Amino acid sequence: MPTSPQPKQPLRLAILDDYHNLALPLFSHLSPQISLSTFPKTLPPYSHQSTSSTDREALVARLHPFDILICMRERTPLPGALLRRLPNLKIVFATGSKFDSFDFDTATELGIEIRCTGSSSTRNKEPVAAEEGSNRGKEVVKANPTVQHTWAVILSLAQDIPDSHNAIRSGAWQSPSSLGIPLYGKTLGILGLGNIGACVARIGVLAWGMRVICWSQNLTQDAADQKAREMGLPVSSLSFDGNEEEAAPEEQEKTFKVVTKEDLFSQSDVVSVHYTLSPRSRHIITHSELSLMKPTALFINTARAGLVEEDALVDLLKEGRIAGAALDVFDVEPLPKDSVWRDRDGWGSRVVCTPHLGFMERRRLEEWYGEVVGMVEGWLEGEGFKLHV
């Protein structure tokens, strides 16, 4: 008597690092074909020098049973050494589009597929009203969550909001550092004039009349002029002092002016980093650049921690060589309990730290997870799993 074909065993899927518990309801309809597990707490990165062998083994034990991993950006890096210890892993679905900490070559060698959603940093656009003499009237990129968060931490630092908040909570009133740093007419240095950097610069120009200077390794003035046009801004202007009179071309300054890296750090009142991390750009900001900053200047990094020599930044802050820093990205995330950035006294009071919130927006995360659900469904159907939706 012929035996009935055995039903396929459920595949095991792990949702990693979903701090806000948004994903599980979106995936629940995949059961019973999929056995779902969720791990909202991130473990230390496998290959970082500070990660103990115990933590490495804990990460392997967590991931070892699973056929499918759902990753929120790079909260859990996937280096080759870790992938080689996951024999059950068939496919990884990740939100976002840039993954410097994923070893794609090793994944290909092991037959592990990695599929990613697109980045939404340029999806939302808005029309800008036409204005004679400018490039307005075309669509420009909206200020996405990273742009919004960048300005949130700049203003928080400039207005000394954290210290003032803590003073109120402790029963005091204004702290000695409660005098705000004015931004109007100051110089904003943009390291990396991509879509995010250009949006940050646009707000500086329109909101506070800031002079914008910019640098990246391959940035030309023609490219910066085009970015100004895309942002609905004139390519050149007389000044940033409110004088709207027409100036001769030779008297005008570029709205987004390309300078050397050294000039960017020495001239800026606010340096904001929006560079892409790659092997070439790792530690592109060293003690040499940071030491050029004015003692009244602010350093902002909402891009990637690996772009900056952390020890150099800490040293300059401790020495009072720069006025303050605002950081949304760190070498190890989540930030270890003993991290130097958790210092709340002395030099630490001049630092605003946030837990990698630059891309955090409920609608955006739900859209990403929705994309991943569709990708998982398509992959399962290709593998012969009939979905009961």
Which domains are seen in the chain, by residue range?
A: 11-116+362-381 (3.40.50.720), 145-240+250-353 (3.40.50.720)
- pLDDT for 234-244, tens place per residue? 999 755 454 54
| CA-wise closest residue to 8 among 94, 67, 86 | 67
Cα 220 to Cα 125: distance, rounded to the nearest angstrom: 25
Cα 52 to Cα 56: distance, rounded to the nearest angstrom: 6
- pLDDT for 251-278, tens place per residue? 689 999 999 999 999 999 999 999 999 8
Classify 29 as helix, strand or coil. helix
Contact 352, 162 (CB under 8 A): yes
User: Dihedral (C-alpha) 380, 382, 388, 389: value to the nearest 10 degrees?
Assistant: 80
Lowest mean pLDDT among 171-180, 246-255, 299-308: 246-255
Contact 95, 35 (CB under 8 A): no
Cα 195 to Cα 303: distance, rounded to the nearest angstrom: 12
Q: How high is the pLDDT of residue 250?
A: 56
Contact 144, 120 (CB under 8 A): yes
Angle between helices 221-230 and 195-208 (to 10 degrees): 70
Strand (E) or helix (H) holding 50: none
Contact 358, 328 (CB under 8 A): yes
Q: Please say if the pLDDT value at position 333 is more than 80.
A: yes
Q: What are the Cα distances from residue 380, in Å, to 49, 91, 376?
A: 37, 11, 6
Cα 178 to Cα 234: distance, rounded to the nearest angstrom: 36
- pLDDT for 171-212, tens place per residue? 988 877 677 889 999 999 999 999 999 999 999 999 999 999
Residue 351 in tokens: 């630092």
